[in-house]
Amino acid sequence: MLVAAAACPCPPLLVPEVAAGAAPELAAARDACADALGVLAASRPDLLVVVGPAEEAAHGSYPEGTPGSFHGFGVDLGVRLGQGGASAASPGRALPPSLSVAAWLLERTDWSHASVEGLAVAEPLTGERCRAAGARAAGRAARVALLVMGDGSACRTLKAPGYLDERSADFDAAVARALGTADVAALRALDAGLARELKASGRAPWQVLAGAAEDAGLGGALLYEDAPYGVGYVVAAWS
């Protein structure tokens, strides 16, 4: 059963080594992520499931100990998911970027409160299948916590990766309200087509959270909301 959840953005720029001289610009987001992970730790979970967006080829489960890296972003920095050793269950299969960012956040906060599993969800996954995956994740242990990685619209400004789309601010505001108030129905109702047009990578992971949180009775708190670089970032904690 789901006992807590945290929603965090997943840009590799969260990692100071990747951001380099721009690292201070996301310091508040990093601190909010650390606070959200503190809520997860306080829930005393038996299992932490980390959910993040990925390309279709990377869709699926990742056991504790799976390696990831930021080599593709020009940084010689490696991470592992949780504290497990290298996994023999998935030879040659590395974490997708969103789960690598999550692994870095967990290492930064010295996570040792529960075993960790990863779940990468492909953008085309329907809301129904996302919710089903969330329900399965919530049933993996008596006390399950979710760390849900995902970004909002990438179309908030003219210089944003997706250029300016006037619909993006309203979309991100609705997501922030839903995550900040633990509004499962609002997450369930997110429009996958609109999210795709706005390049919002978090839609599928947020709908996994909606499936996991059905009947969990959790309350939410919004810890951070901003759109640096024209991309919507939200940090929230549910408990």
Round the average pLDDT of the chain to a whole number and report it.
95
Q: What is the CATH number of the domain that holds 92?
A: 3.40.830.10
The domain in which residue 43 lies consists of 2-238
Predicted pLDDT at 22: 83
pLDDT at position 122 is 96
Q: What is the pLDDT of residue 90?
A: 47
Distance CA 140, CA 203 (A): 22
Collect all residues with Cβ–Cβ distance below 8 Å to 201 and sequence separation of at least 6: 10, 53, 98, 123, 150, 151, 154
Q: What is the pLDDT of residues 185-217, one digit of tens each?
A: 999 999 999 999 999 999 999 999 999 999 999
pLDDT score, position 127: 97
Query: What pLDDT does 89 receive?
Result: 44
Task: Record the tokens describing residue 104, joined without a space.
Answer: 């870095």
Question: What's the helix, strand, coil split of the chain in %, to 5?
Answer: 40, 20, 40
Name residues of the chain where pLDDT drops below 70: 84-92
Please compute Rg for the chain using Cα positions.
16
Domain count, the chain: 1
For residue 21, the model assigns a pLDDT of: 86
DSSP assignment letter at 43:
T
> How far is C-alpha 43 from the geometric centre of its chain's CA atoms?
18
pLDDT of residue 179: 98
How many alpha carbons lie under 13 Å from residue 214 in its C-beta half-sphere? Answer: 16
Q: What is the pLDDT of residue 93?
A: 87
Taking the C-alpha atoms of residue 160 and residue 107, their distance in angstroms, rounded to an integer, is 29
pTM of the model: 0.95
In this prediction, residue 88 carries a pLDDT of 42
| Tokens found for residue 128 | 């129904």
3-state secondary structure string across 81-120: CCCCCCCCCCCCCCCCHHHHHHHHHHHHCCCCCCEEEEEE
* Lookup: tokens for 52: 């993040």
- Cβ contact 202:190 at 8 Å: no
Report strand pairing: 67-69 vs 220-226.
unpaired
